[in-house]
Structure 1
Amino acid sequence: MSEPHPESRLAHFPVAFFAMVMGLTGLAIAWRKAEVDFDLPWSVSVGLVAVAATVFAVLSILFIAKLILHPAAVRGELAHPVQLNFFPTISISLILLGIAMLPHQPLTAEVLWLLGAGLHLIFTLYVLGVWIHQDRFEIHHINPAWFIPVVGNVLVPIAGVPLGFAEPSWLFFSIGILFWLVLFTIIFYRVLFHHPLPERLMPTFFILIAPPAVGFIAYTQLTDSLDPFARLLYYSGLFLTLLLATQIRRFVRLPFFLSWWAYSFPLAAITIATLTMYTQTGAVAFVALGWLLLALVSLVVAYLSLRTVLAVVRRQVCVPAA
């Protein structure tokens, strides 16, 4: 069998690749939080931000090339009930890079934040429009990746508040929390009363952790307090983490897909949330849990990076779907 032509591989370049940037940047932000909270003598976060920015630049060039050379393939993804939901990983990557760069390059961070927040609002409106007016989607199409377009809005206040955009931050936060509750209900209905998720999408269960964990971080940024609602968000995210940890044998048996990157950002989010709980409460238990989660997400991202490189070299990605 002949090898795929390079152009055909570009045509099958998946927008879900940008989930790599989310995982890498989430890890960088988690390390930055640990470095500040514990006055660490090294700066792992700076190197991780550089890696994440480089990966984002490379992926952006490839995706723009696909958009120019294979526009029909991009339109196909935009019409797909699953792939559609990964387009906002582009805008979320911009927002996360803005958050990561805020302590070092505030002007660059503000530009990235403005671009990311604006683009994410466009994606949110577009995806919701598709959901409302579609006539092809069925209940088995929904999976936790559907959180990405609308619940991703809760990320915006994390850099928006320090940059002075308090009211827009409340707008984005409200959108994210509203649709988190709606989609969470629908997804659990689908999981309980319909066929299980296909293997390729099983890792997306970890996305369930992200909305409450990120919501907690954003809410404490907006209110500068640890009130009952903040605790509800954090402990919801922590419980979902524990629930998925008890299912680990099911996940380790799965073959490698790009969807494995769904493990990374949610684990980074609950790590950052746990370290935030430590700064808010001073409880030593959150120190131990925070270090455990930071070690775990670091190992997960390193392993995912290795598996992704091997998959690219072996031509197991950017190929037609089975």
Structure 2
Amino acid sequence: MLKTPNVPAAFFGIILGLVGLGGCWREASRIWNAPAAVGESVMAIAVAVWVLLVLLYAAKWMWRRAEAVREVEDPVQCCFVGLLPVSTMLISLVALPYSYPVAAALGIAGGAGQLAFAVYRTGQLWTGGRNPESTTPVLYLPTAGGNFVSAIVATAFDLPDLAALLFGAGLLSWFALESFLMHRLYVHAPLAPPLRPTLGIQLAPAVVGCSAYLSLTSGPPDLIAKGLLGYGLLQALIIARMLPWIMVQPFAVSYWAFTFGITSIAFDAMKFVERGMDGLAPPLAYATFAVANISIAIVTLGTACLFIRGRILPAPMSTIPT
């Protein structure tokens, strides 16, 4: 058997953070005349990492099929598989200014893959029997986060009716899952340390949903957009308060789970400025943009250190309590 690295699907979360930051810099070039080359450079890095991960993940299915199947069947890791089509859709947004056919092909492939995975995985979940201790915010990925990203991509390709349907699917899925996940966090056993970084995903639904809503609307941000961002900011403050508890788990690539939510907060605040909101919006945009850049820099440096030390791959799933 050819020896290939056992790259987990969760690594595609790196793409979400990088594209999120690149999107913030693209927005900064529009509202603050920031250098456009910075955003495009970040996007180019995201594309390169995505290509590498796609090749490694395909190799995993070819030469390490047992591990790949076990990942799909794992109660926690399975939902991360949905990051492959979601990241593909985000790469389509990267490509859109350069090649419509390439972007459209990626968007269609990612959107179809995301919908297929959401239906397949959610159908499994609805059969019941899930252990509360293995229930984490990764459950948002198939139906909430995935549909919000699909809505953003559909809007970018001038499909507003489809985008509205996808936004509704994501919004109501988020509402349904939110109370279920909050109940688990409030009343069941604490998350095992290796699972605690998944709380970073808790940042994403409100603010990615806000991005999707903004893509579907025009004019100054309305009450719904402000409310979604406000809830996302509340989640960020709660997560910040919990960082000492979360960081009992030493740094790992799993900490990229925070980055899509963090960059989406900044993107939304910057969109508020672009759409004419004054008062609180400009200082909030500056502050969250700075936090997004610092956060990505920290996790990138941490990931590079893990790679240099040969410790970038996580422990086998059998050693992680769920």
Question: Equivalents in 2 of 1:241, 1:279: separation in Å?
Answer: 23
Q: Residue 68 of structure 2 corresponds to which residue in structure 1?
A: 74
Q: Residue 316 of structure 2 corresponds to which residue in structure 1?
A: 320
Unpaired segments ≥5 residues, structure 2: none
Compute the displacement of 1:258 (Å): 2.1
1:205-263 CA-to-partner distances (Å, cap 9, x unmatched) read 22122111111111122132533222221211122112222333334453112210111
Q: Residue 35 of structure 1 corresponds to which residue in structure 2?
A: 29
One-letter code aligned to 2:16: M
Distance 1:198 1:157, change over 3 A: same
What secondary structure, in the 3-state scheme, does the structure 2 residue paired with 1:87 have?
helix
One-letter code aligned to 1:320: P
One-letter code aligned to 2:213: Y
1:88 to 75, 82, 87: 82
Query: Would you say 1:146 and 2:139 are equivalent positions?
Result: yes
One-letter code aligned to 1:60: V
The residue correspondences of 1:131-280 to structure 2 (distance < 5 A) are 131-135=125-129, 137-151=130-144, 152-225=146-219, 226-280=221-275
TM-score normalised according to structure 1 size: 0.91
Query: Would you say 1:300 and 2:291 are equivalent positions?
Result: no
Query: Would you say 1:20 and 2:3 are equivalent positions?
Result: no
Unpaired segments ≥5 residues, structure 1: none
Compute the displacement of 1:159 (Å): 2.7
Contact kept in structure 2, 1:200 and 1:257, CA below 8 Å: no
Query: Would you say 1:44 and 2:60 are equivalent positions?
Result: no
1:103-130 CA-to-partner distances (Å, cap 9, x unmatched) read 3433332222111111100110111111
One-letter code aligned to 2:306: A
Question: Equivalents in 2 of 1:205, 1:319: separation in Å?
Answer: 19
Aligned-pair identity in percent equals 27
Question: Equivalents in 2 of 1:134, 1:180: separation in Å?
Answer: 19
Question: Equivalents in 1 of 2:222, 2:295: separation in Å?
Answer: 32
Question: Equivalents in 1 of 2:165, 2:68: separation in Å?
Answer: 30
TM-score normalised according to structure 2 size: 0.91
Distance 1:211 1:256, change over 3 A: same
1:5-52 CA-to-partner distances (Å, cap 9, x unmatched) read 982x62x32111111111111111111111111122442110011100
Q: Residue 304 of structure 2 corresponds to which residue in structure 1?
A: 309
Aligned length: 315
* More displaced 10-residue stretch of structure 1: 196-205 or 141-150: 196-205
One-letter code aligned to 1:220: L
Query: Would you say 1:63 and 2:41 are equivalent positions?
Result: no
